[in-house]
Structure 1
Amino acid sequence: MAENFEERLPYLMRRVSSALTQRVDRTLREFSLTHAQLGALAQLGLVAPESLSGATLGQRIGVTAQSMSTAIAGLRERGLVDREPHPTHGRILQVRITPEGAELLARAQAAIKKVEDRTLAFLDDEQQRQLQRVLRSMMQAMDLYLYFPDADDND
């Protein structure tokens, strides 16, 4: 007997991811942000007041350099980030979150947290911790970026 496709973990993970992405997209539209822009603001918020290069931002959130460049341009137009030359590498531009960007990030993250809370409401705290451990292990196995606050890898 063939395996039931709808019971396969990758299929289930894609379905959950797709539904959550759609719900987050609706929330992001309220703030006129894309996923890449939110990711950039979130990463910059983690390292503030320091800055990061566009290449590093793209790597951290898993988008192409072109997508990150477009995201940064949109954020700059709105005054949510500043761009400045790297202090020692003249060809590298560093991106820094502005106070307006930090304020918008906080509001957007609060709205998205409500979506996430509704999504996870049926899991108790221990189930959420277990799921987080499993997903982090999968991310590490797939060489996906994980931010560790004590790591000293800022540009």
Structure 2
Amino acid sequence: MSVTPNTASALVHCIFDLQRSVRCAAGAAPRHSDLGAAVEGVLRMISIAGETRASDIAARLGIGNSAMSRQVADLEEHGLVVRRPDPADGRAHLLSLSPEGRERLAEAEQRRTETIQALLSGWEEDRAHEAARIIADLNAALRAALQNSPRATKAGTTQDHKSATLAGVN
């Protein structure tokens, strides 16, 4: 049996509420860097993909190439990413995280993890694990459905379980 309109609507509202809660939780975390959620999302995608083109990251994040280009220029200026010519296409460049980028991303992920852990201090481990499993299952189902959609992009197709549950706002 397929999902009813009422249930689909409830899921949409719950997902939006979860996104807002995660953004608020991120805001509650002590800030030790000037990285914003969008920058962290780009760094995370580059980390997951390894050396990759900016256009591929833009497609996975569902943003335009011009917005991605601005993000990459800022990240490169701050020494967080390294750009080198793509040997397969001299017009394109491949991106990877610099050592500083890897360090800053790890610090940001640790802060987010500690914040969520503190905010969920009243939860039992089994409940949190089950919530992570359900969210991961929902993400996988949505990605699979999007891959079969003629209007779908690569958005979200490369996030692994860890990044999907830690990222929150990408």
Q: Tell me the TM-score range normalised by the shorter chain.
A: 0.7 to 0.9
5 Å-filtered alignment, 1:1-155, equals 8-25=10-27, 27=29, 30-47=32-49, 50-143=50-143, 144-148=156-160
Count of residue correspondences = 141
Q: With structure 2 as the length reference, what TM-score do the two structures score?
A: 0.69
Identity over aligned pairs, percent: 22
Separation of aligned partners in 1, 2:53 and 2:30: 24
Seen in structure 2, the aligned counterparts of structure 1 residues 28 and 80 have a Cα distance that, compared at 3 Å, is farther
- SS state of the match for residue 103, structure 1? helix
Q: Which amino acid aligns with 1:44?
A: I
Instruction: Point out which structure has higher relative CO (alpha carbons under 8 A, 6+ apart).
Output: 2
Separation of aligned partners in 2, 1:65 and 1:24: 26
Seen in structure 2, the aligned counterparts of structure 1 residues 84 and 146 have a Cα distance that, compared at 3 Å, is closer
Seen in structure 2, the aligned counterparts of structure 1 residues 67 and 25 have a Cα distance that, compared at 3 Å, is farther
Unaligned runs of 5+ in 1: 1-7, 150-155
Unaligned runs of 5+ in 2: 1-9, 144-155, 162-170
Separation of aligned partners in 2, 1:131 and 1:145: 21
Separation of aligned partners in 1, 2:19 and 2:110: 19
C-alpha displacement of 1:43: 2.7
Name 2:6's counterpart in structure 1: none
Name 1:4's counterpart in structure 2: none
Q: Which amino acid aligns with 1:80?
A: L
Name 2:5's counterpart in structure 1: none
C-alpha displacement of 1:113: 1.4
